[in-house]
Amino acid sequence: MTALTLPLQPERPARLLIDAVLVDTVRRRATVGHETLPLTYAEYLLLETLALANGKPVQRDVLSLTALHRTLNRDKLGLDRSVDQLVFNLRKKLPADRYGQPLIRSARGQGYWMAAGVPV
């Protein structure tokens, strides 16, 4: 019998600071200053996925799988706006970055991204 070998996953930081938002991957919460953001579980998972992507775009279907635990309907991909609605709701709860721009940005044709976080 052959053992299944999984690829090594990079060490996951316990906390990431992205502009003013601290994402705590151990406690599964996000804070700004001393205030915990009132995120739904799906919103937190979306934020964590984008934070761990280290500034790279994450495709909508990956976000759907990680945050909503379902795949996007490929037949109606253009009509399935569940990830977009989740991003919209999350953007309303997050502060703008130091330049007044949303922390979560659209990458046309690729998905969404946010600036790389700094492990703290």
Please state the pTM of the whole predicted model. Answer: 0.85
In this structure, what token pair is assigned to residue 34?
């001393």
Q: What average pLDDT is seen over the chain?
A: 88
How confident is the model at residue 107, as a pLDDT? 94
Residue 111 three-state SS: strand
Query: Across-strand partners of 111?
Result: 107
Residue 44 three-state SS: helix
Separation of alpha carbons 29 and 32, rounded Å: 10
Separation of alpha carbons 87 and 47, rounded Å: 9
How confident is the model at residue 73, as a pLDDT? 67
At 12, the pLDDT band (50, 70, 90 cuts) reads confident
- Average pLDDT of the residues in 27-56: 96
Separation of alpha carbons 14 and 7, rounded Å: 21
CATH topology for the 15-112 domain: Arc Repressor Mutant, subunit A (1.10.10)
- Average pLDDT of the residues in 2-17: 69
Separation of alpha carbons 105 and 72, rounded Å: 20
Task: For 99-114, write each residue's pLDDT tens digit.
Answer: 999 999 999 988 999 9
How confident is the model at residue 18, as a pLDDT? 95
Task: For 42-82, write each residue's pLDDT tens digit.
Answer: 999 999 999 999 999 999 999 999 999 888 766 655 567 89
Q: Under a CB-based contact definition with an 8 Å cutoff, are residues 36 and 30 in contact? A: yes
Domain ranges of the chain: 15-112
In this structure, what token pair is assigned to residue 94?
């997050």
How confident is the model at residue 9, as a pLDDT? 53
